[in-house]
């Protein structure tokens, strides 16, 4: 199967500063890929290169079988910029009609599109009166024009409340199910968690991790935290049989590596009724993210 | 073409909301009306019909006002998109930069044409009310009308170029004012000074006419004065109109809009979003 987006050994330098170094990615049709990284990690630069807004210094980028920025590529790629901005004097409907006509689509689709992103009621109001979240929805509506094969979304959920965020991901799921590829960037792993097929972490312009959340979890190999609640009077006995356990406020707290995990569970189960409760805390998404993004490219 | 028309439609709406259409219409109407009412007094003994005289006055008005209006409408075209952050998104659409500028230009030219038509139309109506020989001046008025729009298109192109080069609206506004002062006011003063200093030598006979034609504002003035034969009623630089043939002055009037728009497209291509 041919991929919608192929990037091989992409490098981008701004004068002496390397914004991206030797990054290779490929996104297949219908795949949702999240691009994670700190501010300045190179996410937006990579997106601008994919869109053809700025040229690459080295490497090869192919978008829907065409060169980035070529008319052929632009026809099939939709973009949602970070902090989507529009002319404040136009109404939401007028702005979308303009975008529809620029893509050669019927401008009558403007209202249905606005309805799809929940902006129908504000369609006749000027964008200057919109909130940040509403502008973001206009941005999303324009990205849906004309069944794009690749959607490039730069921090699409910033400024959206949790409910709108869920609606937004539901829209993406439908698009991906129709075969559109989606590349979206985010600051936080918690945001993209279950809604993407693959996660790519950039740090200082280098790709430091790539895979599904389960892959990342496995390769990060971060310790698991356990909280054991002893029955009254058994605290010290349990502590003795679980080396490394620390008593904090009546609870026994211990950590173990992924590989020791099952052995430790077995030992706790062996304590029988002396244990009132067991709580397992897997490494949080933030822990995994900072594990990768904090490690500087080697 | 649909993309150019779509852009033009959007720009026209924006100009309508930003009151640019109203401002342009009112400015041209008020000034034209004042000129047609007040500019008639000295014409009595010249024998020309009243409309031809009004056209001569309107030419002097247009040479200042039309470039100013064009620059005011255009200086924000690229720099404003950069500042609002709307440019990157626009450039990911399957539309070329030339199409974007042509769309904007189409809308702005339409507004200028509306303003010119309403202003000159009012002036003509007033003139006809006072002098029924004014029919003789109609060709001159028509010429003034279309060449005013062409002059506007030239300065629109110049404004877009400035806007793309400056990349910030404040910088673009400053450059636009500088351009207006330079081409419309200071250029003539400098030429005048040179002619006086030259005292009838090579500069006055050879370089001066070329220098006049090289400036779109002066070429516009020369074309209208020479073509209408009304140079007798205007003084100063306009007197040169009698020595330069009409075909020579019509060329820059027609070529400058194309050249200015080409410059603007080149400058816009260099803007990295």
Enumerate domains of chain A plus CATH numbers: 3-218 (3.40.50.300), 223-282 (3.30.70.120)
Domain ranges of chain B: 2-269
Q: What is the pLDDT of residue B228?
A: 64
Q: What is the pLDDT of residue B231?
A: 47
Share of chain A above pLDDT 90, in %: 26
CA distance B163 to B76: 6
Q: What is the pLDDT of residue A289?
A: 83
| CB pair distance less than 8 Å for B3 and A102 | yes
| CB pair distance less than 8 Å for A87 and B14 | yes
Residue B230 pLDDT > 60, yes or no?
Answer: no
Q: Which residues contact A282 (CB under 8 A, 6 or more apart)?
A: A217, A224
pTM of the model: 0.85
CA distance A84 to B84: 10
Residue A97 pLDDT > 80, yes or no?
Answer: yes
Who has greater pLDDT, B12 or A296?
Answer: B12
Spell out which chain B residues touch chain A, with contact meaning CB-CB distance below 8 angstroms. 2-3, 5-7, 9-10, 13-14, 17-18, 84-86, 88-89, 91-96, 272-273
Q: What is the pLDDT of residue B40?
A: 55
Residue B233 pLDDT > 50, yes or no?
Answer: no
* pLDDT 10s digits, A181-230: 999 998 777 777 667 889 898 888 888 888 888 888 888 888 888 888 88
Q: What is the pLDDT of residue B226?
A: 76
Listed by number, the residues of chain A in 97-116 with a beta carbon closer than 8 Å to a beta carbon of chain B are: 98-99, 101-104
Which stretch of B167-181, B189-203, B231-245 has the lowest confidence by average pLDDT? B231-245
Residue A295 pLDDT > 60, yes or no?
Answer: no
CA distance B151 to B171: 23
Residue B159 pLDDT > 90, yes or no?
Answer: yes
Provide the pLDDT confidence category of residue B103 given band limits of 50, 70 and 90: very high
* pLDDT 10s digits, A255-265: 888 888 888 88
Q: What is the pLDDT of residue B193?
A: 87
Q: What is the mean pLDDT of residues B123-127?
A: 86
User: Which of A182, A150, A179, A178 lies closest to A169 in space, CA to CA?
Assistant: A182
Look up the ipTM and state it.
Answer: 0.84
Give the SS3 label for residue A18.
strand
DSSP-assigned letters across all residues of A155-201? STTTT--HHHHHHHHHHHHHHHHTT-EEEEEES-HHHHGGG-SEEEE
Residue B42 pLDDT > 90, yes or no?
Answer: no
CB B74 within 8 A of CB B169: no
For chain B, say whether A28 makes contact (Cβ under 8 Å). no
């Amino acid at each position: 199967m041919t991929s919608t987006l192929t990037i091989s050994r992409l490098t981008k330098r701004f004068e002496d500063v390397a914004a991206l170094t030797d990054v290779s990615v490929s996104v297949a049709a219908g795949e949702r890929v999240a691009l994670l990284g700190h501010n300045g990690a190179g996410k937006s630069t990579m997106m601008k290169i994919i869109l053809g807004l700025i040229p690459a210094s080295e490497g090869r980028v192919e978008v829907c079988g065409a060169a980035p920025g070529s008319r052929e590529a632009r026809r099939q790629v939709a973009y949602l910029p970070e902090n989507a901005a529009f002319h404040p004097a136009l109404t939401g409907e007028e702005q979308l009609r303009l975008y529809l006509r620029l893509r050669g689509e019927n401008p009558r689709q403007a209202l249905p599109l606005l309805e799809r992103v929940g902006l129908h009621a504000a369609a006749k109001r000027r964008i200057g009166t919109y909130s940040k979240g509403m502008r973001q929805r206009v941005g999303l509506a324009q990205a849906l024009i004309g069944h794009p094969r690749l959607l490039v979304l730069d921090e699409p959920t910033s400024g959206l409340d949790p409910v709108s965020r869920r609606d937004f991901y539901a829209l993406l799921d439908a698009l991906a199910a129709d075969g559109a590829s989606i590349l979206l960037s985010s600051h936080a792993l918690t945001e993209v968690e279950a809604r993407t097929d693959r996660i790519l972490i950039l740090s200082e312009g280098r790709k430091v991790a790539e895979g599904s959340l389960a892959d990342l979890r496995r390769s990060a190999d971060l310790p698991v935290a356990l909280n054991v609640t002893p029955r009254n009077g058994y605290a010290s006995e349990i502590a003795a049989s679980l080396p490394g356990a620390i008593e904090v406020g009546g609870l026994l707290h211990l950590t173990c590596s992924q590989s020791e995990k099952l052995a430790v569970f077995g030992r706790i189960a062996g304590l029988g009724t002396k244990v009132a409760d067991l709580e397992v805390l897997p490494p949080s998404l933030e822990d995994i993210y900072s594990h990768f993004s904090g490690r500087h490219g080697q | 073409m649909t993309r150019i028309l779509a852009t033009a439609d959007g720009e026209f709406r924006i100009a309508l909301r930003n009151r640019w259409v109203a401002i342009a219409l009112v400015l041209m109407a008020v000034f034209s009306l004042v000129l047609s009412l007040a500019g008639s007094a000295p014409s009595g003994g010249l024998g020309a019909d009243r409309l031809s005289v009004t056209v001569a006055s309107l030419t002097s008005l247009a040479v200042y006002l039309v470039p100013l209006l064009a620059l005011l409408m255009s200086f924000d075209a690229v720099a404003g998109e950069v500042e609002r952050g709307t440019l990157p998104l626009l450039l990911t659409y399957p539309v070329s930069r030339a199409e974007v500028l042509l769309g904007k230009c189409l809308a702005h030219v339409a507004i200028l044409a509306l303003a010119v038509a309403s202003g000159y139309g009012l002036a003509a109506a007033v003139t006809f009310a006072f002098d029924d020989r004014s029919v003789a001046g109609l060709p001159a008025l028509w010429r003034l009308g279309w060449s005013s729009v062409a002059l506007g298109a030239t300065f629109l192109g110049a404004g877009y170029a400035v806007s793309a080069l400056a990349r910030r609206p404040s910088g673009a506004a400053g450059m636009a004012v500088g351009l207006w002062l330079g081409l419309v006011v200071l250029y003539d003063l400098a030429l005048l000074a040179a002619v006086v200093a030259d005292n009838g030598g090579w500069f006055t006979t050879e370089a001066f006419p070329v220098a006049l034609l090289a400036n779109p504002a002066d070429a516009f003035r020369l074309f209208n004065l020479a073509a209408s034969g009304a140079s007798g009623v205007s003084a100063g630089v306009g007197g040169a109109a009698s020595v330069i043939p009409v075909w020579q002055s019509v060329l820059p009037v027609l070529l400058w809009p194309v050249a200015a728009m080409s410059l603007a497209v080149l400058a816009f291509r260099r803007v990295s979003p």
